[in-house]
Structure formats: C-alpha cells, structure tokens
Chains A and B, each alone.
Chain A
C-alpha cells in the first residue's frame, strides 16, 4: 500500500513564525501536492511538484513556498505565519504523467494564534 506521512497531526504556531510542514511518500511517485482544506471551500491546491527540484504554483500560492530536494519528500513552508493560514493541510502524491489517482496523507491541522 502507498503510504503518505505528514510530520505532525496538530501544530500550533504564533503569528510571524516560520512553519515547516513535511510530507514523505514511500512509493516512488513523481508527483506531489500540497492542499489546504477549509469548510465550505473544499480542497484548494497550494503548490505541486512533478519532479525533484521542480514546482508549480497552484491556485493559492501566496504566503507559501515549497521545497523538493528528494523525490520522496515535499515540504511546505509558511515564511511568516498569519492567522488566515489556520487550516487543515493535506499532502498527496501520484504516479506518472497521466491521470492517476492521488494518495493522501492524514493531514496537519495548523492553528496560528
């Protein structure tokens, strides 16, 4: 089974802190994704990566950056956390260039106070 793990289930940070969310997948997937999930808004794509060191902006990249130095690891960085970044963050991975399904991690619930 594909396993996608995220570094924390719950995280509480203060406004202005730098926040790192880590995601690791164990199935050698090319593609990795970061979403945020908010009630009534569904899943919104922040960034995705289709190869090591490659990244593409999603629909809401403002205030976020990403890093993919190794194929299995995709990090989301909040340079200066703000209260409107309080949300559930979901990482996902998928195989290959075609329309393969995504495998999701359990999510990190981030609260910024």
Chain B
C-alpha cells in the first residue's frame, strides 16, 4: 500500500523568506512523487515530479523539491517566497510496483505568505 503525509495543515512565512512545505511517504517499491498547487477557486496544477535520477528536482514558479530516500521525504522548497505563492499545496505518491496509475494525495498544506 502507498501513503503520503503532510504533517502541517498550514505554513506561514514572510515574503522574501525561504519556504518549506513538508511531505513524507510510504511505498513498497520505488516511489514516483509529485507536488501540485491549488490557487483559490481554481483546479490543481502540476508543479514538479521525481521519477528517478537527481534528488533535487526543479519545477514551475521557482519551486524545487528534494527527494530523500533514507528519510522517505519529498519536501517542497523555494528560496524566496512571494505573496502570490499563497495557496494550497498537495504532495502525491505512486508506488512503482502498483499495477495502474493510482496516485495517493496528501491532505494538503495551506501556505500563507505574509507581506
């Protein structure tokens, strides 16, 4: 079985400061990991994914995420937060050993960037 946890319901950060949104996962095989963002009153948008290779993945809007196999984590990061980054962020995982395209999403973390 695959699962993903986002331990923080909300993260507050001052504009211009670095931000981190945490995600940990559990799979039987190798993980495929994703981050999505949901802006108010809009659908989810894909930010970035880890499949294999370099542990640091770069994505849209200046976001990046670091895959850490030993800690089973895939934290989302950005060096300098913008007010426009305020949104709901979802981490998702798919176990490579699962037969189909089923992806499990976390419960979401609300990011609030304070001007």
CB-CB < 8 A to B49: which residues of A? 99, 101
**Does A50 sit at the interface, judged by CB under 8 A?**
yes
- Interface magnitude class on chain A: 20 to 34
Q: How far is the CB of B93 from chain A (nearest CB, A)?
A: 10
CB of B94 within 8 A of CB of A43, answer no
In the complex the two chains form, what is the Cα distance from A59 to B3 in whole Å? 12
Interface size class of B (residues with CB under 8 A): 20 to 34
Q: How far is the CA of A50 from the CA of B101 in the complex (A)?
A: 8
Q: Once bound together, how far apart are the Cα atoms of A82 and B105, in whole Å?
A: 25
CB 8 Å contact bits of A84-113 with B (1 = contact, 0 = none): 000000101010011101111111000000
Using a CB–CB cutoff of 8 Å, the interface residues on chain B facing chain A are 6, 9, 32, 34, 36, 42-46, 49, 51, 90, 94, 96, 100-108
Residues of A within 8 A of B (CB): 4, 31, 33, 35, 40-45, 48, 50, 56, 58-59, 90, 92, 94, 97-99, 101-107
